[in-house]
């Protein structure tokens, strides 16, 4: 590691500090409601591992927890999204960071296990990446974990599967299922920043282009909406019939991959699963198509299979690898990693103020509330308080319901004969 006296390292720290200060400026809920709630001393001395994409907004959450007295250990949830300046700035503030920028999947595995070796009591996780590795490689620590708060749809699905298998011996909050997370982060945050990153990396025109979204959950819905409003002709590939109906009623052209991928200028995966674009889809890609991933897994696009069938590959622009498939050029963005973070700046600060307020108050809830093992959702009252704090910060105040506006169904129920 570079010495702390080097000009380069000092510049790196200054850049990281500036990025974190910018987040601080636009985080009224974390700076208000969350800091006030955490000031009760209940986090003092608690060991909390924060394993989310390691950029400035994650760093600010870690600092909020540390300033409340927690012993915070930070790692990245993907090797391609860790920012060197943020790592340097956190270390200068005395935060334990086990991640380095520019790592590989192999080095990232070691970084996660290094975070586990600090013996956290609680984990704020992304994709259940640290949680699962503690379970697999540190079983004694796994049995002692007091709680996990999960950031993503993918991680939530994994936690439910672990619970159903009888292998979740502690309470886990699905922060993703809090309304102040998935209604805004997944849709507006990923929608805006994915389209921004694709356009920034490619310098291509979106208006009039055929833009295909694979997956129509909250993330895919947001991407489709932003692309459509910028003039793209949006198609949606979906395997879930209910989501397909929703895409149809939203005015999107919806259908099977082999029907809609031909003719696409841009394709973005947003399934949260594995190999949404693989060899069957590669066979029908048009020449000069741009493909990118906005879901949790780097493997949503099967990059290994793409490289195996390519006649050659080259770096066309920063973060763009062009594969030649028998005369067809396919442009892959950010090596298949999350394009809005690996190839952009991640979610807007205001969106992550909501998401990380859910995580901060989620950690507080886990520490202060006896919960049985299993998957839990943040209480509605806490979720509502985050939204109310955001509105108050914008000077927006709502009316309280008047008594006469309430449904009188309870009076009817009370008048029914007992069974």
Q: How many CA atoms lie within 13 A of 22 on its CB side?
A: 13
Report d(CA 72, CA 227) in Å as an integer. Answer: 38
Report the candidate in 303, 302, 304, 324 with the shortest Cα–Cα distance to residue 313. Answer: 324
pLDDT value of residue 401: 86
Q: Is the pLDDT of residue 179 over 60?
A: yes
Report d(CA 312, CA 308) in Å as an integer. Answer: 9
Give CA angle at 18 (128, 189), nearest 5°: 45
pLDDT value of residue 418: 80
CB of 362 closer than 8 Å to CB of 127 = no
Q: Residue 213 is inside which H or E element, if any? A: strand 210-214
Phi, psi (5° rounding) for residue 229? -70, -20
- Would you kindly state where each structural domain of the chain is located, as residue ranges? 7-181+347-393, 187-342
Report d(CA 382, CA 369) in Å as an integer. Answer: 13
Q: Are strands 210-214 and 233-237 parallel, antiparallel or unpaired?
A: parallel
Q: Are strands 320-325 and 71-75 parallel, antiparallel or unpaired?
A: unpaired
CB of 263 closer than 8 Å to CB of 282 = no
Q: Residue 267 is inside which H or E element, if any? A: strand 266-269
Question: Per CATH, is 7-181+347-393 categorized as 3.40.50.1480?
Answer: yes
Torsion of CA 376, 379, 382, 384, to 10 degrees: 120
Phi, psi (5° rounding) for residue 12? -65, -45
Q: What is the mean pLDDT of the chain?
A: 95
- Span 330-342, pLDDT tens digits: 999 999 999 999 9
Placement of tokens 């067809």 in the chain = 328
- Span 351-408, pLDDT tens digits: 999 999 999 999 999 999 999 999 999 999 999 999 999 999 999 999 988 888 888 7
CB of 376 closer than 8 Å to CB of 171 = yes
Instruction: List Cβ neighbours of 331 (8 Å cut-off, separation of 6 or more).
Output: 202, 288, 289, 290, 291, 316, 320, 321, 322
Q: Percent of the chain scored above 70 by pLDDT?
A: 99
pLDDT value of residue 1: 46
Report, as an integer, the average pLDDT of 41-50.
Answer: 98
**What distance lies between CA 175 and its chain's CA centroid?**
11
User: What does the H/E/C string look like for 288-354?
Assistant: CEEEEECCCCHHHECHHHHHHHCCEEEEEECCEEEEEECCEEEEEEHHHCEHHHHCCCCCCHHHHHH
- Tell me the β-bridge partners of 80: none
- Span 185-230, pLDDT tens digits: 999 999 999 999 999 999 999 999 999 999 999 999 999 999 999 9
Q: Distances in Å between the alpha carbon of 113 and those of 103, 110, 118, 158, 233?
A: 14, 5, 9, 19, 44
pLDDT value of residue 5: 66
**Which CATH code for domain 187-342?**
3.40.50.720
User: Residue 256 CB: number of other CB atoms within 10 A?
Assistant: 11
CB of 335 closer than 8 Å to CB of 298 = yes
Report d(CA 267, CA 288) in Å as an integer. Answer: 11
**7-181+347-393 and 187-342 agree in CATH topology:** yes
Q: Is the pLDDT of residue 11 over 80?
A: yes
Which string of b and e fits 52-75 if b means at least 16 CB within 10 Å?
bbbbbbbbbbbbbbbebebbbbbb
- Given pLDDT bands bounded at 50, 70 and 90, which one contains residue 272? confident
Q: Is the pLDDT of residue 263 over 60?
A: yes
- Span 50-88, pLDDT tens digits: 999 999 999 999 999 999 999 999 999 989 899 999 999
Q: How many CA atoms lie within 13 A of 381 on its CB side?
A: 1
* pTM for the structure as a whole: 0.89
Q: Are strands 320-325 and 328-333 parallel, antiparallel or unpaired?
A: antiparallel
- Span 278-327, pLDDT tens digits: 999 999 999 999 999 999 878 899 999 999 999 999 999 999 999 999 99
- Given pLDDT bands bounded at 50, 70 and 90, which one contains residue 4? low
pLDDT value of residue 417: 85
């Amino acid at each position: 590691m570079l010495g702390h006296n080097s000009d380069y390292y000092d510049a790196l720290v200054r850049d990281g500090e500036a990025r974190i200060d910018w987040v601080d400026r636009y985080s009224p809920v974390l700076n208000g409601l969350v800091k006030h709630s955490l000031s009760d001393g209940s986090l003092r001395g608690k060991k909390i591992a924060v394993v989310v994409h390691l950029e400035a907004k994650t760093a600010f959450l870690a600092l909020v927890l540390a300033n409340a007295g927690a012993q915070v250990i930070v790692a990245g949830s993907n090797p391609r999204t860790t920012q060197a300046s943020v790592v340097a700035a956190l270390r200068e503030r005395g935060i334990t960071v086990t991640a380095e920028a520019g790592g590989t999947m192999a080095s990232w595995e070691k970084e996660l296990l290094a975070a586990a070796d600090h013996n956290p009591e609680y984990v704020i996780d992304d994709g259940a990446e640290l949680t699962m590795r503690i379970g697999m490689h540190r079983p004694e620590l796994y049995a002692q974990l007091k709680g996990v708060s999960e950031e993503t749809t993918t991680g939530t699905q994994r936690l439910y599967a672990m619970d159903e298998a009888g292998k979740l011996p502690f309470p886990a909050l699905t922060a993703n299922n809090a309304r102040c997370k998935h209604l805004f982060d997944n849709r507006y945050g990923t929608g805006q920043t994915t389209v921004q990153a694709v356009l920034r990396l490619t310098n291509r025109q979106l208006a009039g282009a055929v833009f295909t979204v694979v997956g129509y959950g909250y993330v895919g819905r947001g991407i489709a909406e932003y692309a459509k409003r910028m003039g793209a002709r949006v198609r949606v590939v979906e395997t879930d019939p209910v989501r397909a109906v929703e895409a149809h009623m939203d005015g999107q052209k919806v259908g099977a991959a082999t029907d809609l991928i031909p003719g696409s200028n841009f394709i973005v995966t947003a399934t949260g699963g594995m190999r949404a674009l693989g060899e069957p889809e590669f066979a029908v890609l048009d020449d000069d198509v741009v493909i990118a991933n906005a879901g949790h897994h780097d493997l949503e696009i099967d990059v290994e299979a793409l490289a195996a069938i390519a006649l050659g590959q080259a770096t066309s622009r920063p973060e763009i690898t062009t594969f030649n498939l028998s005369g067809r050029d396919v442009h892959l963005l950010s090596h298949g990693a999350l394009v809005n973070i690996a190839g952009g700046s991640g979610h807007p600060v205001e969106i992550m103020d909501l998401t990380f307020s859910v995580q901060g108050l989620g950690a507080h809830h886990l520490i202060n509330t006896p919960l049985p093992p299993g998957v839990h959702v943040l209480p509605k009252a806490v979720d509502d308080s985050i939204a109310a704090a955001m509105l108050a910060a914008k000077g927006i105040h709502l009316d309280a319901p008047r008594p006469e506006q309430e449904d009188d169904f309870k009076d009817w129920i009370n008048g029914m004969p007992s069974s």
